[in-house]
């Protein structure tokens, strides 16, 4: 920002110490939430501490909005932080203003919004984000497995109602867990799926009984030998094998597979977080989102990045050797060119890099079609070569002028009077001495005072 105060706020929120401080406050807030109880004195103190945390997080949100302006809402994490702060303020307002109009249960529900603050720590914990990423990757497969499990439970529930509805209410069979209704059968099968006490449901089937349950006479089932023990054993054992040993383990297999993929991606030389870090740093050097920075700012930008893309100072010769394209009258460098060069430096030459470059180019062109018309006119290596060539030409031309001046001084010395001739002879000798010293790699401070010929200005 151009404003000095807003620029100071921008520097504050961009510093790593600011993020570390917010994470510390989040952890302290977690500890305070764990210490809550119903004792009046302690509860009042904890409420005041909660007000303090709400004020801290609100101040953080306001400072970031002032520093980043409309760009604050361009990040999904910032939107999440803003939503949590708003919910926290609303919960406090509802608790204080409408305490007499709402029941305590409703107020406690609003206070649960504070739990959202704890989730903010996920933003800083890469390991937790890897787990969440694996879970999100597994969701489509988990939904399909869940539908398969429900279909199996539905079939077994219907079969159980047809064969075990007359089981007596004993063991694991009671008024809730039974095969008399579809809901009761589903509950029994869900219990078996978790492998929690399924043998208590099998016990009434194994027990010798010549009578059915006392309340099942209306079903018209014969009261003698109404349970087939062999079929009952096959029913329960087959369901345990299919549901618990096969289907449920499919959940574990899918999650482990996706977790393995997520872990491999997190251990790659470059991951999505590294690219996000690149764009966040780029936004500081290109606040107007032009996708270009000055060539003079390239060294500072490369040093401001985080590993593995960072090139710490002194990095002048490293950046020159990378031969980064320069566009727009030789003054600007495009974001995509820098990112591709740094990526190539980390990954090396590979086929995957070619595909990555193609995909990134498509995204940038879609976001900014002007990239097509910005063909490179130079590069960092070529620019350095041009500068070195210019210095060589300058020195050669300067040497040529000195030699020519020496020749002009020695042409017609007798056309002048003796005093002038003596003075010019001394100047010639001084000039010859300076030329000899320059050829030997030494510099003479007397050169400028000894020579009476004015030379053009050049910059070494």
Alpha-carbon distances, residue 205 vs 72, 161, 191, 193, 226 (angstroms): 65, 14, 17, 18, 10
Angle at 201 between CA 198 and CA 203, to 5 degrees: 110
**CATH number, domain containing residue 142:** 1.10.287
Q: What is the mean pLDDT of residues 219-239?
A: 71
Q: Which of 39-53, 150-164, 272-286, 431-445 has the highest mean pLDDT?
A: 150-164
**Residue 417 and residue 343 share a domain:** no
DSSP secondary structure string, 294-340? EGGGHHHHHHHSPTTT--PSS-HHHHHHTT-EEBTTTTEEEHHHHHH
**CATH number, domain containing residue 371:** 1.10.238.10
Please check whether residue 458 lies inside any domain of the structure: no
Beta carbons within 8 Å of 208's beta carbon, 6+ residues apart: none
**Residue 244 and residue 216 share a domain:** yes
Please check whether residue 455 lies inside any domain of the structure: no
**Residue 226 and residue 289 share a domain:** no
**Residue 110 and residue 19 share a domain:** yes
Please check whether residue 274 lies inside any domain of the structure: no
Rounded CA gap, 137 and 259, in Å? 9
Question: Over 50: is that where the pLDDT of 427 sits?
Answer: yes
Contact present, 383 and 412 (Cβ < 8 Å):
no
Which domain-ending residue is among 351, 376, 401? Answer: 376
Rounded CA gap, 86 and 89, in Å? 5
Nearest to 64 by CA among 5, 24, 121, 10: 10
Least confident of 120-129, 162-171, 341-350, 443-452: 443-452
pLDDT reported for residue 456: 36
Tens digits of residue pLDDT in 257-298: 888 887 776 666 667 777 778 888 888 888 777 778 887 888
Rounded CA gap, 32 and 43, in Å? 11
**Residue 253 and residue 164 share a domain:** yes
Q: Where are the alpha helices (DSSP H) in 98-215?
A: 104-111, 115-119, 126-164, 182-193, 198-206
Rounded CA gap, 288 and 292, in Å? 10
- First-last CA distance in the chain: 36
- What radius of gyration, in Å, describes the C-alpha atoms of the chain? 40
Tens digits of residue pLDDT in 388-416: 777 888 888 778 777 777 777 665 554 44
Element holding 456 (H helix, E strand): none
Q: What is the mean pLDDT of residues 95-107?
A: 59
Beta carbons within 8 Å of 123's beta carbon, 6+ residues apart: 77, 129
* 325-326 and 292-294 beta bridge pairing: unpaired
Q: Which of 57-71, 398-412, 414-428 has the highest mean pLDDT?
A: 57-71
- The residue segments making up the domain with residue 237 are 131-266
Please check whether residue 93 lies inside any domain of the structure: yes
**Residue 364 and residue 254 share a domain:** no
Which domain-ending residue is among 326, 356, 376? Answer: 376
**Residue 95 and residue 21 share a domain:** yes
β-bridge partners, 293? 333
Higher pLDDT, 315 or 421: 315
The CA dihedral of 155, 157, 158, 161, to the nearest 10 degrees, is 160
* 378-379 and 332-334 beta bridge pairing: unpaired
Nearest to 263 by CA among 131, 125, 136: 131
Contact present, 299 and 293 (Cβ < 8 Å):
no
**Residue 137 and residue 114 share a domain:** no
Question: Over 80: is that where the pLDDT of 219 sits?
Answer: no
pLDDT reported for residue 238: 92
Tokens at 148, concatenated: 């398969």
Higher pLDDT, 166 or 362: 166
Q: Helix 126-164 crosses helix 182-193 at what angle (to 10 degrees)? A: 130
Q: Helix 418-439 crosses helix 380-409 at what angle (to 10 degrees)? A: 150
Q: How many domains does the chain have?
A: 4
Mean pLDDT over each residue of the chain, to the nearest integer:
73
Please check whether residue 456 lies inside any domain of the structure: no
Contact present, 277 and 301 (Cβ < 8 Å):
no
Please check whether residue 275 lies inside any domain of the structure: no
Let me know how many helices (H) and strands (E) the chain has, helices first.
19, 4
Q: What are phi and psi of 443, to 5 degrees?
A: -115, 140
Question: Over 50: is that where the pLDDT of 229 sits?
Answer: yes
**Residue 14 and residue 103 share a domain:** yes
Which domain-ending residue is among 101, 124, 147? Answer: 124
**Residue 118 and residue 236 share a domain:** no
Angle at 366 between CA 364 and CA 367, to 5 degrees: 65
**CATH number, domain containing residue 110:** 1.20.120.350
Q: What are phi and psi of 378, to 5 degrees?
A: -165, -170
Please check whether residue 260 lies inside any domain of the structure: yes
- Residue 316: Cβ within 10 Å count: 14
Please check whether residue 16 lies inside any domain of the structure: yes
Tens digits of residue pLDDT in 7-38: 888 888 878 788 888 888 888 888 887 887 77
DSSP secondary structure string, 379-408? EHHHHHHHHHHHHHHHHHHHHHHHHHHHHH
Nearest to 116 by CA among 20, 47, 19, 29: 29
Tens digits of residue pLDDT in 117-175: 566 666 666 677 778 778 888 888 989 999 999 999 999 999 999 888 888 888 788 88
**Residue 93 and residue 211 share a domain:** no
**Residue 441 and residue 359 share a domain:** no
pLDDT reported for residue 420: 53
């Amino acid at each position: 920002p151009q404003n000095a105060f807003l620029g100071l706020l921008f520097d504050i929120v961009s510093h790593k110490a600011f993020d570390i401080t917010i994470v510390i406050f989040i952890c302290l807030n977690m500890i305070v939430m764990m210490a809550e109880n119903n004792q009046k004195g302690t509860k009042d103190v904890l409420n005041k501490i909660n007000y303090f945390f709400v004020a801290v997080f609100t101040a953080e949100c306001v400072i970031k909005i002032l520093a980043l302006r409309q760009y604050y809402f361009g990040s999904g994490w910032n939107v999440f932080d803003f939503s949590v702060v708003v919910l926290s303020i609303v919960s406090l307002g509802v608790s204080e203003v409408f305490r007499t109009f709402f029941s305590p249960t409703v107020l406690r529900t609003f206070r649960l919004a504070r739990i959202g603050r704890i989730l903010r720590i996920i933003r800083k914990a890469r390991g937790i984000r890897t787990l969440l990423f694996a879970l999100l990757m597994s969701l489509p497969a988990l939904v399909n497995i869940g539908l398969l499990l429900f279909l199996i439970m539905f079939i077994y529930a219907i079969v159980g109602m047809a064969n075990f509805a007359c089981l007596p209410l004993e063991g694991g069979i009671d008024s809730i867990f039974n095969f008399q209704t579809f809901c009761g059968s589903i509950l029994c099968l869900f219990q078996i799926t978790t492998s929690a006490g399924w043998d208590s449901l099998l016990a009434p089937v194994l027990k010798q009984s010549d009578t059915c349950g006392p309340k099942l006479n209306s079903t018209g089932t014969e009261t003698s030998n109404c349970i087939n023990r062999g079929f009952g054993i096959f029913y329960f054992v087959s369901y345990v094998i299919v549901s618990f040993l096969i289907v449920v383990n499919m959940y574990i297999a899918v999650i482990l597979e996706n977790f393995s993929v997520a872990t491999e991606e997190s251990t790659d030389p470059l991951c999505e977080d590294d690219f996000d870090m690149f764009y966040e740093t780029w936004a500081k050097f290109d606040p107007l989102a032009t996708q270009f920075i000055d060539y003079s700012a390239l060294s500072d930008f490369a040093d401001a990045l985080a590993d593995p893309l960072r090139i710490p100072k002194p990095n002048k010769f490293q950046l020159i050797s990378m031969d980064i394209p320069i566009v727009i009258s030789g003054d600007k460098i495009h974001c995509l060119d820098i990112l591709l060069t740094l990526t190539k430096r980390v990954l090396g030459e590979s086929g995957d890099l070619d595909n990555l470059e193609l995909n990134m180019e498509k995204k940038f062109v879609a976001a900014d079609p002007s990239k097509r018309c910005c063909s490179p006119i130079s590069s960092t290596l070529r620019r350095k070569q041009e500068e070195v060539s210019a210095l060589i030409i300058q020195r050669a031309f300067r040497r040529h002028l000195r030699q020519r001046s020496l020749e002009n001084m020695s042409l017609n010395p007798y056309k002048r009077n003796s005093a002038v001739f003596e003075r010019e002879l001394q100047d010639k000798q001084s000039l010859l001495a300076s030329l000899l010293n320059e050829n030997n790699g030494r510099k003479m401070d007397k050169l400028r005072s000894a020579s009476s010929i004015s030379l053009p200005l050049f910059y070494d």
